[in-house]
Amino acid sequence: MRNRSAFWPALALMAPLVLFLAFAYAVPFLGVALWSVTLPEPGLGQYERLVGDPLVQSAFLRTFRICLIVTVIAVACAYAVTYVWVRGTRMQRRLIEICIFVPFWISLLTRAFGWLALLSTRGIVNTSLQALGLTDGPLALVRNEPSVIAGMVHVLIPFAVLPLASAMRTVDERMLLAARGMGASRLRIFWSVFLPLTLPGVIGATLIVFVFSLGFFVTPAILGGGRSIMVAELVYLRMFQSPDWGLGAAISVALVILVAGLMGLLARFARLGLTGGGR
Protein backbone atom coordinates (compact mmCIF):
# COMPACT_ATOMS: atom_id res chain seq x y z
CA MET A 1 0.00 0.00 0.00
CA ARG A 2 2.74 2.34 0.99
CA ASN A 3 4.34 1.93 -2.40
CA ARG A 4 1.34 2.79 -4.48
CA SER A 5 2.03 6.52 -4.45
CA ALA A 6 5.57 5.86 -5.68
CA PHE A 7 4.53 3.46 -8.43
CA TRP A 8 3.78 5.89 -11.26
CA PRO A 9 6.72 8.23 -10.72
CA ALA A 10 9.03 5.21 -10.52
CA LEU A 11 7.63 3.86 -13.77
CA ALA A 12 8.09 7.25 -15.40
CA LEU A 13 11.73 7.30 -14.32
CA MET A 14 12.31 3.77 -15.61
CA ALA A 15 10.38 4.35 -18.83
CA PRO A 16 13.33 5.35 -21.03
CA LEU A 17 15.15 2.11 -20.21
CA VAL A 18 12.04 -0.02 -20.66
CA LEU A 19 11.24 1.66 -23.98
CA PHE A 20 14.80 1.34 -25.18
CA LEU A 21 14.88 -2.39 -24.38
CA ALA A 22 11.47 -2.87 -25.98
CA PHE A 23 12.41 -1.17 -29.26
CA ALA A 24 16.04 -2.23 -29.48
CA TYR A 25 15.62 -5.77 -28.30
CA ALA A 26 12.14 -7.20 -27.76
CA VAL A 27 10.51 -5.90 -30.96
CA PRO A 28 13.34 -7.02 -33.28
CA PHE A 29 13.47 -10.40 -31.58
CA LEU A 30 9.72 -10.84 -31.95
CA GLY A 31 10.23 -9.99 -35.63
CA VAL A 32 12.84 -12.74 -35.91
CA ALA A 33 10.53 -15.15 -34.10
CA LEU A 34 7.79 -14.24 -36.57
CA TRP A 35 10.10 -14.95 -39.54
CA SER A 36 10.86 -18.39 -38.12
CA VAL A 37 7.21 -19.41 -38.47
CA THR A 38 6.30 -17.46 -41.65
CA LEU A 39 9.27 -17.74 -44.02
CA PRO A 40 9.18 -18.98 -46.66
CA GLU A 41 5.65 -20.14 -45.78
CA PRO A 42 3.60 -20.15 -42.51
CA GLY A 43 4.07 -23.17 -40.25
CA LEU A 44 6.64 -24.97 -38.10
CA GLY A 45 8.53 -26.31 -41.14
CA GLN A 46 11.76 -24.53 -40.20
CA TYR A 47 11.78 -26.11 -36.74
CA GLU A 48 11.34 -29.55 -38.31
CA ARG A 49 14.33 -28.79 -40.53
CA LEU A 50 16.27 -27.58 -37.48
CA VAL A 51 15.76 -30.89 -35.70
CA GLY A 52 16.38 -32.98 -38.78
CA ASP A 53 19.30 -31.16 -40.42
CA PRO A 54 22.61 -32.85 -39.47
CA LEU A 55 24.53 -29.66 -40.31
CA VAL A 56 22.51 -27.63 -37.80
CA GLN A 57 22.78 -30.39 -35.21
CA SER A 58 26.51 -30.67 -35.56
CA ALA A 59 26.83 -26.88 -35.24
CA PHE A 60 24.84 -26.97 -31.99
CA LEU A 61 26.84 -29.89 -30.62
CA ARG A 62 30.14 -28.27 -31.61
CA THR A 63 29.02 -25.00 -30.01
CA PHE A 64 28.19 -26.73 -26.75
CA ARG A 65 31.42 -28.68 -26.74
CA ILE A 66 33.56 -25.63 -27.46
CA CYS A 67 31.68 -23.47 -24.98
CA LEU A 68 32.00 -26.09 -22.25
CA ILE A 69 35.76 -26.38 -22.79
CA VAL A 70 36.07 -22.59 -22.98
CA THR A 71 34.06 -22.14 -19.77
CA VAL A 72 36.11 -24.66 -17.79
CA ILE A 73 39.43 -23.19 -18.95
CA ALA A 74 38.33 -19.56 -18.59
CA VAL A 75 36.87 -20.01 -15.09
CA ALA A 76 39.89 -22.01 -13.91
CA CYS A 77 42.32 -19.39 -15.29
CA ALA A 78 40.18 -16.58 -13.91
CA TYR A 79 40.14 -18.25 -10.49
CA ALA A 80 43.93 -18.27 -10.33
CA VAL A 81 44.18 -14.73 -11.66
CA THR A 82 41.52 -13.44 -9.27
CA TYR A 83 43.18 -15.15 -6.31
CA VAL A 84 46.38 -13.23 -7.00
CA TRP A 85 44.42 -10.05 -7.72
CA VAL A 86 42.48 -10.19 -4.44
CA ARG A 87 45.13 -11.63 -2.14
CA GLY A 88 48.43 -10.70 -3.79
CA THR A 89 50.88 -7.90 -3.09
CA ARG A 90 50.35 -4.39 -4.45
CA MET A 91 52.68 -5.03 -7.37
CA GLN A 92 50.92 -8.26 -8.30
CA ARG A 93 47.54 -6.54 -8.16
CA ARG A 94 48.67 -3.72 -10.42
CA LEU A 95 50.12 -6.20 -12.91
CA ILE A 96 46.89 -8.21 -13.01
CA GLU A 97 44.83 -5.08 -13.50
CA ILE A 98 46.95 -4.08 -16.50
CA CYS A 99 46.99 -7.57 -18.02
CA ILE A 100 43.27 -8.28 -17.54
CA PHE A 101 41.44 -5.02 -17.75
CA VAL A 102 43.34 -3.13 -20.42
CA PRO A 103 42.63 -5.76 -23.14
CA PHE A 104 39.05 -5.73 -21.87
CA TRP A 105 38.57 -2.31 -23.46
CA ILE A 106 40.07 -3.30 -26.82
CA SER A 107 37.67 -4.35 -29.58
CA LEU A 108 36.92 -8.03 -30.03
CA LEU A 109 37.92 -7.75 -33.66
CA THR A 110 41.31 -6.31 -32.83
CA ARG A 111 41.96 -9.08 -30.34
CA ALA A 112 40.94 -11.79 -32.81
CA PHE A 113 43.34 -10.34 -35.39
CA GLY A 114 45.97 -10.19 -32.68
CA TRP A 115 45.66 -13.95 -32.24
CA LEU A 116 45.89 -14.33 -36.04
CA ALA A 117 49.08 -12.29 -36.05
CA LEU A 118 50.46 -14.63 -33.40
CA LEU A 119 49.31 -17.98 -34.76
CA SER A 120 48.94 -17.77 -38.57
CA THR A 121 51.33 -19.52 -40.98
CA ARG A 122 53.47 -16.43 -41.23
CA GLY A 123 52.71 -15.29 -37.68
CA ILE A 124 55.14 -14.60 -34.88
CA VAL A 125 55.02 -18.08 -33.37
CA ASN A 126 55.59 -19.95 -36.60
CA THR A 127 58.37 -17.67 -37.89
CA SER A 128 60.13 -17.83 -34.53
CA LEU A 129 59.90 -21.62 -34.40
CA GLN A 130 61.30 -21.88 -37.93
CA ALA A 131 64.02 -19.33 -37.27
CA LEU A 132 65.12 -21.34 -34.26
CA GLY A 133 65.09 -24.44 -36.43
CA LEU A 134 62.60 -26.21 -34.22
CA THR A 135 60.17 -26.88 -37.06
CA ASP A 136 60.71 -27.29 -40.78
CA GLY A 137 57.48 -25.86 -42.07
CA PRO A 138 54.74 -23.73 -40.50
CA LEU A 139 52.43 -25.46 -38.02
CA ALA A 140 48.66 -25.22 -38.51
CA LEU A 141 47.97 -23.18 -35.38
CA VAL A 142 44.97 -21.32 -36.62
CA ARG A 143 41.68 -22.12 -38.40
CA ASN A 144 40.95 -24.90 -35.97
CA GLU A 145 39.10 -25.48 -32.71
CA PRO A 146 42.02 -24.94 -30.34
CA SER A 147 42.68 -21.47 -31.75
CA VAL A 148 38.97 -20.62 -31.41
CA ILE A 149 39.07 -21.83 -27.80
CA ALA A 150 42.21 -19.80 -27.05
CA GLY A 151 40.68 -16.66 -28.51
CA MET A 152 37.40 -17.11 -26.65
CA VAL A 153 39.08 -17.87 -23.31
CA HIS A 154 41.13 -14.71 -23.71
CA VAL A 155 38.02 -12.61 -24.24
CA LEU A 156 35.98 -14.24 -21.48
CA ILE A 157 38.42 -14.32 -18.54
CA PRO A 158 37.66 -10.74 -17.38
CA PHE A 159 33.94 -11.56 -17.22
CA ALA A 160 34.71 -14.40 -14.82
CA VAL A 161 37.13 -12.34 -12.72
CA LEU A 162 34.50 -9.92 -11.43
CA PRO A 163 32.04 -12.39 -9.81
CA LEU A 164 34.97 -14.43 -8.49
CA ALA A 165 36.57 -11.34 -6.97
CA SER A 166 33.41 -10.36 -5.14
CA ALA A 167 33.12 -13.90 -3.74
CA MET A 168 36.76 -13.99 -2.65
CA ARG A 169 36.54 -10.59 -0.99
CA THR A 170 33.74 -11.77 1.30
CA VAL A 171 35.81 -14.67 2.69
CA ASP A 172 36.50 -13.97 6.36
CA GLU A 173 40.26 -13.96 6.90
CA ARG A 174 39.77 -15.38 10.39
CA MET A 175 38.35 -18.60 8.91
CA LEU A 176 41.58 -19.16 7.05
CA LEU A 177 43.57 -18.33 10.18
CA ALA A 178 41.37 -20.70 12.19
CA ALA A 179 42.10 -23.52 9.73
CA ARG A 180 45.84 -22.78 9.91
CA GLY A 181 45.71 -22.71 13.68
CA MET A 182 44.15 -26.18 13.66
CA GLY A 183 47.17 -27.44 11.74
CA ALA A 184 45.78 -27.48 8.18
CA SER A 185 48.23 -27.20 5.27
CA ARG A 186 47.76 -24.52 2.63
CA LEU A 187 46.44 -27.05 0.14
CA ARG A 188 43.97 -28.37 2.70
CA ILE A 189 42.79 -24.86 3.58
CA PHE A 190 42.24 -24.15 -0.10
CA TRP A 191 40.26 -27.32 -0.84
CA SER A 192 38.17 -27.56 2.28
CA VAL A 193 37.69 -23.92 3.23
CA PHE A 194 38.55 -21.33 0.58
CA LEU A 195 37.14 -23.10 -2.48
CA PRO A 196 33.80 -24.07 -0.86
CA LEU A 197 33.39 -20.55 0.47
CA THR A 198 33.92 -19.06 -2.99
CA LEU A 199 31.73 -21.64 -4.77
CA PRO A 200 28.84 -19.19 -5.32
CA GLY A 201 31.29 -16.99 -7.24
CA VAL A 202 32.45 -19.97 -9.30
CA ILE A 203 28.84 -20.80 -10.20
CA GLY A 204 28.15 -17.17 -11.11
CA ALA A 205 31.29 -16.96 -13.24
CA THR A 206 30.47 -20.27 -14.96
CA LEU A 207 26.98 -19.06 -15.80
CA ILE A 208 28.16 -15.74 -17.20
CA VAL A 209 31.01 -17.20 -19.25
CA PHE A 210 28.96 -20.07 -20.66
CA VAL A 211 26.05 -17.88 -21.68
CA PHE A 212 28.33 -15.28 -23.25
CA SER A 213 30.31 -17.93 -25.09
CA LEU A 214 27.20 -19.47 -26.72
CA GLY A 215 26.58 -16.31 -28.72
CA PHE A 216 30.19 -15.74 -29.81
CA PHE A 217 30.47 -14.76 -33.43
CA VAL A 218 33.48 -12.59 -34.30
CA THR A 219 36.18 -14.62 -32.57
CA PRO A 220 35.16 -18.08 -33.92
CA ALA A 221 34.48 -16.63 -37.37
CA ILE A 222 37.99 -15.18 -37.66
CA LEU A 223 40.02 -17.82 -35.81
CA GLY A 224 37.93 -20.79 -36.97
CA GLY A 225 38.24 -19.69 -40.58
CA GLY A 226 34.92 -21.24 -41.62
CA ARG A 227 35.97 -24.75 -40.60
CA SER A 228 34.49 -25.14 -37.17
CA ILE A 229 31.26 -23.21 -37.49
CA MET A 230 29.43 -22.31 -34.29
CA VAL A 231 25.72 -21.53 -33.98
CA ALA A 232 26.00 -17.75 -34.20
CA GLU A 233 28.05 -18.03 -37.39
CA LEU A 234 25.55 -20.50 -38.79
CA VAL A 235 22.76 -17.97 -38.25
CA TYR A 236 24.84 -15.38 -40.06
CA LEU A 237 25.47 -17.74 -42.97
CA ARG A 238 21.78 -18.66 -43.25
CA MET A 239 20.78 -14.99 -43.20
CA PHE A 240 23.37 -13.41 -45.44
CA GLN A 241 25.07 -16.08 -47.58
CA SER A 242 22.34 -18.55 -48.52
CA PRO A 243 19.16 -16.53 -48.18
CA ASP A 244 17.32 -18.91 -45.87
CA TRP A 245 15.90 -16.41 -43.36
CA GLY A 246 13.35 -18.82 -41.97
CA LEU A 247 15.95 -21.37 -40.83
CA GLY A 248 18.31 -18.67 -39.56
CA ALA A 249 15.47 -17.21 -37.50
CA ALA A 250 14.48 -20.64 -36.14
CA ILE A 251 18.08 -21.32 -35.04
CA SER A 252 18.19 -17.90 -33.31
CA VAL A 253 14.98 -18.61 -31.41
CA ALA A 254 16.21 -22.06 -30.39
CA LEU A 255 19.47 -20.54 -29.10
CA VAL A 256 17.67 -17.87 -27.06
CA ILE A 257 15.34 -20.45 -25.51
CA LEU A 258 18.29 -22.68 -24.62
CA VAL A 259 20.21 -19.81 -23.03
CA ALA A 260 17.17 -18.65 -21.07
CA GLY A 261 16.55 -22.19 -19.81
CA LEU A 262 20.17 -22.59 -18.77
CA MET A 263 20.17 -19.25 -17.00
CA GLY A 264 17.05 -20.18 -15.07
CA LEU A 265 18.52 -23.52 -14.05
CA LEU A 266 21.90 -22.14 -13.00
CA ALA A 267 20.39 -19.16 -11.22
CA ARG A 268 18.34 -21.53 -9.08
CA PHE A 269 21.42 -23.61 -8.39
CA ALA A 270 23.41 -20.50 -7.49
CA ARG A 271 20.71 -19.37 -5.06
CA LEU A 272 20.81 -22.74 -3.33
CA GLY A 273 24.59 -22.53 -3.16
CA LEU A 274 24.51 -19.04 -1.67
CA THR A 275 22.19 -19.90 1.18
CA GLY A 276 24.46 -22.82 2.05
CA GLY A 277 22.49 -25.99 2.63
CA GLY A 278 19.42 -25.16 0.63
CA ARG A 279 16.95 -25.22 3.48
Partner 1 sequence: MSKRAVGLQVIGIGKSFGHFTALKDITLDIAPGEFLTLLGPSGSGKTTFLMVLAGFQAASEGRLLSDGVDITGSRAEDRSFGMVFQGYALFPHKSVAQNIAFPLQVRGIAREDIARRVDAIIARVGLAGHENKRPAQLSGGQQQRVALARALVFEPPVLLLDEPFSALDKHLRGRMQEEVARLHGEFGTTFVFVTHDQSEALSLSSRIAIFNHGRLLQVGAPRDIYERPSSRFVAEFLGEINLLPVGGIGHCARGTSGTFEDARLTAPRHDHLDGSAVLAVRPEHMSVSAEPPAEGNGVPARLVGTTYLGSAMRLAFATRSGTPLTVTLPSVAAGHILDRGPDFWVNWSFDNGFLLPEQS
Interface positions with partner 1 (CB under 8 A): 172, 174-175, 177-185, 188, 192-193, 196-197, 199, 276-277
Q: How far is the CB of 199 from partner 1 (least distance, A)?
A: 8
CB-CB contact of 45 with 246 (8 Å): yes
Whether 40 and 241 have beta carbons less than 8 Å apart is answered as: no
Q: CA–CA separation, 273 vs 64, rounded Å?
A: 24
Tell me the H-state helices in 53-144. Answer: 54-87, 90-104, 108-119, 124-131
CB of 170 to partner 1, least distance (A): 11
| Nearest residue (CB) to partner 1, 72 versus 197 | 197
In the chain, the N- to C-terminal Cα span, in Å, equals 31
Beta carbon of residue 83, minimum distance to partner 1 (angstroms, whole number): 18
Q: Are 255 and 64 in contact (CB under 8 A)?
A: no
In this complex, which beta carbon is closest to partner 1, that of residue 33 or of residue 197? 197
User: Least separation, in Å, of the C-beta of 188 and partner 1?
Assistant: 6
**Distance set, CA 161 to CA 105, 108, 193, 262 (Å):** 15, 18, 20, 21
Shortest distance in whole angstroms from residue 153 CB to partner 1: 29
Nearer to partner 1, 90 or 174 (CB): 174
Kindly tell me which of 60 and 79 has the beta carbon lying closer to partner 1. 79
Complex with partner 1: residue 70 or 167, whichever CB lies closer: 167
CA distances from 272 to 9, 211, 279 (A): 35, 20, 8
